[in-house]
């Protein structure tokens, strides 16, 4: 009720009754009735009475169950719909959930048949295995069970999978709605390999140990793999923190070491959180898996409420890469040879290629591999998308198409040459906002600070063509003997100023801006950006 009211949702409650099952069961028990009920006439009478009681009685019971949430929803002005389903309980619930477009399913962890040693109800377990809708499993009811209140915080378990990050996004939303603290935890097992190698030492022959190189393998795992695991899972937590901060919230993070479900279970018993959010499947699960192993164990054993998230979210490439990916010195050198205006795009393409293949270190060879596989096509596609966005914005603002001069073939050749270690040809780039022309290494406009998406290349052969409309380029010497190239169009605008200190002041201001921002040619666009033409 509280959640529905805060997020403007409607509630649909359902109850399943099994009239047919009771009818069949009654007929099976007829032989055990007292003798006075076993005469045919009396038996038929009892059957009719039972049929009426079961049919109408079950409907009355169902309506009574649904009347409780209906009245509570009416009190708080929440839209409500009741559903009466007939059949096998879990079968009808699964069918209804899969056929409906529900955002969230809420179920009790256990039903009326629960006993002291029960962990999860059979209906609940069968439903969560056969549905993919986000599910909130209610287990901790301190007021009803006379238990101590929870610690109040919402906890999200992260393993780096898209399902766990989807759970994080849900956790952020719920923490905002309920005004509760948010904590993100992650767990890795550095001790598994010790147990594995101890087991291998007991079964491998001396000859097999030499082939397997048992001692070297154990040292490798101890010095590299186990430490690497800690770094990976700490990186998942740092990425999670950034995702939370991007949503305008704060969170705490905690890294646990040991058997994953066991350590998280210990954590929940000690911290007693209000809610534990788990991805339905984990980082090592196949997409067809119904529920991950750690999620299944924790659902059964934790003392708090559990939220099973089927939502999928992939953090931005640069956010993940900043925490996980490193570059070799050779890789950085290769990257710096890429023209500045496409370097951010190329970097994202290389990072995405590396992460999709599980790399945490980008080498020169990996850059070559990425370049051969994705940059010629993938980056051109990305540039095309950028171009479409610029075109659309130009139409809205009634400006000329800023993308018309872009030559994808030139970009492709320049990027490939840079990755091959060759010297690239001289490229000029032009800002689509202020029209400033600058060197190809610029990653933002030096005049108006426009981002790299607004900088488009002008090939050397095209630069002259583009400037023909402004006349020849003349070299003008400033008062401090510095030389500047001016187009005739820009010079005409300058000459419109009265001779004397007014013109000198305008010229000095323009040339100073050109010097500060490394502008090679003073054009009409640049002139208009710095001073107002007369």
pLDDT tens figures, 143-189: 655 666 778 899 999 999 999 999 999 999 999 999 999 999 999 88
Give pLDDT, residue 59.
81
Q: Is 187 exposed, middle or buried (0-12, 13-18, 19+ CB in 10 A)?
A: buried
- HSE toward the beta carbon, residue 122, CA cutoff 13 A: 7
pLDDT by 10-residue block (mean), the chain, 534 residues: 90 86 60 64 69 74 91 94 90 95 94 85 95 93 66 94 96 95 92 67 70 65 66 90 95 93 95 96 89 95 95 83 79 75 71 78 84 53 45 54 44 46 53 67 67 59 53 76 82 86 83 75 83 71
DSSP SS3 for 73: helix
Q: Please name which of 364, 367, 336 lies closest in space to residue 351, comparing C-alpha atoms.
A: 367
The whole-angstrom separation of Cα 262 and Cα 119 is 16
Confidence (pTM)? 0.63
Give pLDDT, residue 13.
95
Give DSSP secondary structure letters for 312-371.
-----HHHHHHHH-EE-HHHHHHHHTS-TTTHHHHHHHHHHHHHHTT-SEE-HHHHHHHH
**Segments making up each domain of the chain, as ranges:** 1-86, 139-309, 325-425, 426-534
CATH number among 1.10.8.550, 3.40.228.10, 3.40.50.1360, 3.10.620.30, domain 325-425? 1.10.8.550
Give pLDDT, residue 270.
93
How many C-beta atoms lie closer than 10 Å to residue 180's C-beta? 18
* Architecture of the 139-309 domain: 3-Layer(aba) Sandwich (3.40)
What are the distances in angstroms from CA 381 to CA 96, 192, 348, 411? 42, 44, 13, 12
Beta-strand ranges (E) seen in 180-258 are 182-188, 252-257
How many C-beta atoms lie closer than 10 Å to residue 513's C-beta? 19
Residue tagged 């009409």 (tokens): 524
């Amino acid at each position: 009720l509280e959640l529905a009211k805060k997020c403007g949702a409607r509630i649909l409650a359902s109850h399943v009754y099994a009239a047919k099952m009771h009818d069949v069961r009654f007929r099976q028990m007829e032989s055990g009735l007292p003798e006075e009920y076993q005469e045919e006439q009396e038996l038929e009478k009892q059957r009719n009475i039972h049929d009426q009681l079961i049919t109408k009685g079950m409907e009355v019971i169902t309506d009574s169950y649904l009347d409780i949430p209906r009245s509570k929803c009416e009190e708080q002005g929440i839209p409500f719909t009741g559903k009466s389903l007939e059949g096998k309980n879990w079968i009808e619930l699964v069918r209804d959930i899969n056929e409906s477009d529900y955002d969230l399913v809420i179920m009790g962890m256990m039903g009326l048949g629960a006993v002291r040693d029960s962990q999860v109800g059979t209906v609940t377990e069968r439903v969560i295995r056969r549905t993919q809708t986000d599910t909130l499993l209610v287990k901790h009811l301190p007021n009803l069970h006379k238990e101590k209140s929870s610690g109040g915080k919402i906890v999200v378990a992260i393993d780096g999978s898209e399902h766990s990050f989807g759970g994080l996004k849900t956790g952020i939303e719920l923490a905002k709605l309920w005004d509760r603290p948010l904590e993100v935890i992650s767990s890795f097992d550095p001790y598994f390999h010790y147990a594995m190698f101890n087991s291998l030492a007991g079964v491998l022959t001396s000859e097999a140990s030499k082939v397997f190189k048992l001692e070297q393998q154990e040292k490798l795992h101890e010095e590299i793999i186990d430490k690497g695991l800690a770094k990976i899972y700490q990186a998942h937590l740092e990425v999670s923190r950034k995702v939370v901060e991007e949503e305008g919230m704060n969170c705490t993070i905690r890294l646990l070491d040991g058997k994953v479900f066991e350590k998280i279970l210990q954590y929940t018993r000690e911290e007693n959180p209000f809610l534990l959010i788990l991805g339905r499947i984990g980082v090592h699960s196949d997409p067809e898996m119904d529920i991950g192993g750690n999620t299944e164990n924790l659902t059964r054993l934790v003392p708090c409420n559990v939220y099973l998230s089927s939502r999928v979210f992939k953090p931005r490439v640069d956010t993940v890469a900043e925490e996980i990916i490193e570059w070799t010195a050779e890789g950085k050198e290769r990257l710096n040879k890429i023209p500045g205006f496409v370097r951010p795009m190329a970097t994202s393409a290389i990072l995405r290629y590396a992460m999709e293949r599980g790399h945490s270190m980008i080498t020169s060879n990996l850059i070559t591999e990425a370049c051969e596989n994705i940059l010629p096509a993938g980056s051109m596609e990305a540039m095309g998308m950028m171009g479409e966005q610029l075109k659309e914005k130009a139409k809205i603002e009634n400006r000329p198409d800023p993308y018309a001069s872009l030559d994808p073939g030139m970009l492709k050749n320049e990027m490939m040459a840079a990755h091959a270690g060759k010297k690239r040809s001289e490229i000029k780039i032009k800002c689509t906002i202020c029209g400033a022309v600058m060197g190809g290494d610029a990653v933002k406009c030096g005049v108006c600070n426009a981002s790299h998406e607004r900088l488009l290349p002008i090939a050397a052969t095209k630069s002259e063509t583009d400037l023909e409309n402004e006349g020849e380029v003349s070299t003008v010497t400033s008062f401090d003997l510095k030389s500047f190239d001016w187009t005739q169009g820009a010079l005409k605008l300058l000459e419109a100023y009265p001779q004397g200190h007014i013109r000198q002041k305008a010229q000095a201001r323009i040339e100073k801006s050109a010097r500060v921002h490394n502008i090679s040619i003073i054009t009409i666009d640049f002139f208009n950006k710095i001073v107002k033409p007369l």
